[in-house]
Amino acid sequence: MVLETLNILNYRNIRTAELSFAEKLNCFVGLNGQGKTNILDAIYMLSFAKSAYTSQDSLNITHGEDIAMVQGVYKGQHNELQSTEGFTISCGLRRGVKKQFKRDKKDYKRLIDHIGLIPLVMISPTDQHLIEEGSDERRRFMDAVISQLDRRYLDSLTTYNALLKQRNALLKQYAEALEPPHDLLEVLEWQMVPLAEYIHQARKLFFEHFNPYFQQVFLYIANGQTDKNSATEICTLRYISQLHERNLTEAYLKTRQRDIILGWTSQGPHKDDLEMLLGEYPLKQVGSQGQQRTFVLAMKLAQALYLSNKGNRELPILLLDDIFDRLDSTRVERIVEMVQRPEFGQIFITDTDRQHLTDIVQPSESAKIFHVDNGHIR
C-alpha cells in the first residue's frame, strides 16, 4: 500500500499541510515538539480510525479550533480489489460530534469494517510498554496484527470481550448471594466457549508463523547475522495460554465458585500472554535498555513481515517514530538497511538529527526528506 498524498487541517499543532510522498522512504526531521509525531499519528488515524495516542478525538483538534480533517489518497500494490486510480480515505473531527470516516466520500456503516484495508505498523518509544506493562499490552499486540487479516477474529474478540464483561458483572453480583443462580452464567459461558476457542486457535496459528520472522529480525539487528548458533544475543518469545491444555467448558464449571468469590473470570483467552526471554531469564529483569529496545523493534518489524507475507496482501505502511534513541549506530544502520528491502513497503521515519538520516538516505524519486518546524512542513 502506498500513501500518495496527505492533507491535514487543524490536527494537533499542524494547522494546514498538503504533502506528496515518495513511494519508498519519507523522512521528517526537526527538534522535539515540532509536530513530527503528529504527522505519523494522522497517517495512523487513516488506517485504524483512531489516534495512536489518545481515545478522545477532541484532543486531536488544534487548540482554539472546532474542526479537524485528515485526508489521504492511496494506491494499491498487490490487492486486486483496489482500482488503479486508487482511493481516498478522509476523517473529519468536530468537537461534541461523532467523527466522520469515509472511503471515497461514502460513510462506513461500522468503523470496524475499515480495519485491515490499509495495513500499517507503527514503531515508537511507547512500544516499551510491551515489556514493562502487563499481559494485556502483549495480547493487544497480537490482536492488532491478527485483526488486520481476519475479520472473523476481530468480530469474535469484540463479542467475547462484551460477554466477558457481562460475566464479570454477574460474578460480582452473585458474590453477596447465599445460593447464587448459575443458569445465567451457563448461558453466557455457552456463548463464550466457541469464541474463546476461535481466538485461541487464531493466536496459536499467528504465533507459529510470526515467531520465525521475529527470530530472523532480532538476530540480524542484534548480531548482524541470521545464524542462531553463532549469535551472541539469544532472545525467545513464547505464547502462553490456559487453553493449550484445558477444555474451557470444564474449566468454567470447575472454577465457577472460585470466580464468584474473586468477582472476575479466571479462565479464558483474556489471560493469554507472550513471554519474553533473554537466554533463559525474563527480558524485563536482565535485559539492558538497548537489548529491550532491540527486542521490541524486532517484534514490530516482524509484524510488518508477517503482514506482508500473508497471501496476496498489500505491503503494510511502516511508521518509525524516533526509533534511533538508545541504539548504537551499528544497529541503526542495520535497521535502515533492512526496511529498505523489497519485502517492506512504504516507510515514514522521524528523527531529531538530520545527520542520522542524510548519512543513510539520499533524496531521490524513492526517498524524500521533510523539515518540520512548529507545525510547518517543508
Q: What is the pLDDT of residues 44-86, one digit of tens each?
A: 999 999 999 998 999 999 999 999 999 999 998 654 444 446 8
State mean pLDDT over 157-171. Answer: 95
Q: Assess contact for 213 and 302: CB atoms under 8 A.
A: yes
pLDDT of residue 125: 87
Is 353 part of a structural domain of the chain? yes
User: Do 329 and 270 belong to one domain?
Assistant: no
State mean pLDDT over 102-109. Answer: 92
User: Do 230 and 362 belong to one domain?
Assistant: no
- Which residue matches cell numbers 465457577? 256
Tens digits of residue pLDDT in 137-153? 999 999 999 999 999 99
Is 92 part of a structural domain of the chain? yes
Q: Locate the DSSP E strands across 227-300.
A: 235-240, 273-278, 281-282
Angle between helices 289-308 and 329-339 (to 10 degrees): 0
Q: Assess contact for 16 and 67: CB atoms under 8 A.
A: no
Q: Which residues contact 228 (CB under 8 A, 6 or more apart)?
A: 215, 219, 234
Angle between helices 135-147 and 151-174 (to 10 degrees): 150
pLDDT of residue 355: 64
Is 127 part of a structural domain of the chain? no
pLDDT of residue 358: 63
Query: How far apart are the C-alpha atoms of 206 and 143, rounded to whole Å?
Result: 10
| Burial readout 195-212 (b: 16 or more C-beta within 10 A, e: otherwise) | bbbbbbebbeebbeebbe
User: Do 276 and 350 belong to one domain?
Assistant: no
| Burial readout 348-378 (b: 16 or more C-beta within 10 A, e: otherwise) | bbbbeeeebbeebbeeeeebbbbebeebebe
SS3 284: helix
Query: How far apart are the C-alpha atoms of 192 and 186, rounded to whole Å?
Result: 10
Calculate the dihedral angle through the C-alpha atoms of 145, 267, 284, 141, rounding to the nearest 10 degrees: 10
User: Do 297 and 367 belong to one domain?
Assistant: no
Asked whether residue 40 carries a pLDDT value surpassing 90, the answer given is: yes
Query: How far apart are the C-alpha atoms of 264 and 198, rounded to whole Å?
Result: 22
Q: Which residues contact 284 (CB under 8 A, 6 or more apart)?
A: 131, 132, 276, 292
Residue 340's CATH number: 3.40.50.300
Angle at 317 between CA 341 and CA 347, to 5 degrees: 55
Among 283, 311, 339, the domain-final residue is 311
User: Do 368 and 227 belong to one domain?
Assistant: no
Angle between helices 151-174 and 248-262 (to 10 degrees): 40
Among 286, 311, 336, the domain-final residue is 311
- Which residue matches cell numbers 502462553? 240
Is 130 part of a structural domain of the chain? no
pLDDT of residue 288: 85
Asked whether residue 27 carries a pLDDT value surpassing 80, the answer given is: yes
At residue 101 the predicted structure's pLDDT band, cuts being 50, 70 and 90, is very high
Tens digits of residue pLDDT in 278-314? 888 899 999 888 888 889 999 999 999 999 888 556 8
Q: What are phi and psi of 187, to 5 degrees?
A: -65, -45
Tens digits of residue pLDDT in 212-252? 999 999 988 887 755 555 455 678 999 999 999 989 999 99
Residue 144's CATH number: 1.20.1050.90
SS3 2: strand
pLDDT of residue 28: 94
Is 178 part of a structural domain of the chain? yes
User: Do 92 and 184 belong to one domain?
Assistant: no
Is 128 part of a structural domain of the chain? no
Least confident range from 42-51, 324-333, 343-352: namely 324-333
At residue 338 the predicted structure's pLDDT band, cuts being 50, 70 and 90, is confident
User: Do 86 and 223 belong to one domain?
Assistant: no
pTM of the full predicted structure?
Answer: 0.88
- Structural domains counted in the chain: 2
Q: Domain residues for 1?
A: 1-119+314-378
| Burial readout 140-154 (b: 16 or more C-beta within 10 A, e: otherwise) | ebbbbbbbbbbeebb
Is 188 part of a structural domain of the chain? yes
pLDDT of residue 122: 95
User: Do 339 and 361 belong to one domain?
Assistant: yes
Among 276, 311, 346, the domain-final residue is 311
User: Do 178 and 282 belong to one domain?
Assistant: yes
Which cell numbers in the block locate residue 339? Answer: 526496511
State mean pLDDT over 308-335. Answer: 81
Q: Which residues contact 225 (CB under 8 A, 6 or more apart)?
A: 219, 231
Is 129 part of a structural domain of the chain? no
pLDDT of residue 230: 47
Q: What are phi and psi of 29, to 5 degrees?
A: -115, 140
276 strand-pairing partners: 237
pLDDT of residue 232: 57
